[in-house]
Amino acid sequence: MDRGGCQMNGGNGSGGDGSGPDQTGMITLEDLESFSEDQLDDSGNSLDEEDKDMDDDRLLHYWQEVARGHQVEVAQEMAEPIQQLTTNNQGRSSREPIPFTLLVRKEKCGELLWEKRQYEKGHWACIKMREETYEQSICYGFMKLMRYICQQNSLGDYLGMTLPIITVVRTNENHSVISHDVTVAYFLPIEHQAQPPQPSDNEIAIEIWPATTVYTRPFTGPTNEVTIVNQINAMTEQLDSPSVSANDSFIVAGYTNPAHVNRQNEIWFLERL
């Protein structure tokens, strides 16, 4: 697999259009650790209420069922990471936000159109994936990072969650097609920034990403190839000078799992260097 560079770097290109969302969602690392507290079963009861003592095998079976809907197979080796994330992330206070400085905030009639933010230099764990479908690339990339977060690192310990989990996506020249080559990235918690634990998986790279300025726009709902194209074009229309940002590399930032009716996401445009 070609891991390639994972940093938030800009590119070249021009605008285009997209169509409405389809019915396919994505399962992410954040989904795997948060479904256990949020997801409802068929009877409308939360799994946590139904069984406080769900064991590894039952959790694994549950996630296997969820993942099949995304054409993704969850291997037996994922049982322990799933259990660890479930145990260590019982509340949102345990998820560390990635720090940034707000530079500009633009609103219209009380609605947020976009923000300009500065993210400082920091260590990220990232992996480049290419599977048969875009959704599979995202899912398998997140599961690899999940194993790194849960003990498959040089400390042999759970590292902690940060949000958002980001996906670097690339498009064709007119922004009508998303490449299946994606970069999935996790910002290391502040306590591990000075000495990042090394991954056991040699496909995961620990990189220092430079300070980066991004233009962000929030959106809700599923994140798939079609909705991402729509959001890229919507952001292009909102920015006063869209040419100041990278035009063929974008970031999708995920904050909540897709089981929610109003999933919280952002599209990020990268300021040209």
Task: Return the sign of the alpha-carbon dihedral for residues 68, 73, 76, 77.
Answer: negative
Read out DSSP for the chain?
A: ------S---------------S-----HHHHHHHHHH-B-TTS-BHHHH-TT--HHHHHHHHHHHHHTTT----GGGHHHHHHHHHH-SSGGGEEEPP-EEEEEEEETTEEEEEEEEEPPEEEEEEEEE-SSHHHHHHHHHHHHHHHHBT-BTT-SB--EEE-EEEEEEB-TTS--B-SEEEEEEEPPGGGTSSPPPBSSTT-EEEEEPPEEEEEEEEES--SHHHHHHHHHHHHHH-S-GGGEEEEEEEEEE-S-TTSTT-EEEEEEEEP-
Residues of the chain with pLDDT under 50: 1-4, 10-30, 32-54, 91-93, 258-260
What's the pLDDT at 95?
Answer: 81
What's the pLDDT at 107?
Answer: 94
| Residue 268: CB atoms within 10 Å | 25
For helices 29-38 and 56-68, angle between their N-to-C axes, nearest 10 degrees: 110
Nearest in space to 159 (alpha carbons), one of 130, 136, 119, 190:
190
What's the pLDDT at 41?
Answer: 40
What's the pLDDT at 134?
Answer: 77
Nearest in space to 232 (alpha carbons), one of 188, 270, 197:
270
The correct answer on CATH 3.40.50.300 for the domain covering 95-271 is: no
Q: Are 162 and 145 in contact (CB under 8 A)?
A: no
Interior/surface letters 5-15, b for 16+ CB within 10 angstroms, e for the rest: ebebebeebee
Interior/surface letters 58-82, b for 16+ CB within 10 angstroms, e for the rest: ebbebbbebbeebebebeeebbbbb
What's the pLDDT at 69?
Answer: 62
> Integer distance in angstroms from the first to the last C-alpha of the chain?
28
| Residues 5-41: tens digit of each pLDDT | 556 554 443 333 333 333 334 444 445 444 444 443 4
The pairing of strands 165-170 and 245-254 is antiparallel
Q: What is the pTM of this model?
A: 0.75
Domain coordinates of the chain in residue numbers? 95-271
Q: Are 174 and 229 in contact (CB under 8 A)?
A: no
> Going by C-beta distance under 8 Å and a sequence separation of 6 or more, which residues neighbour residue 212?
8, 118, 119, 270, 271
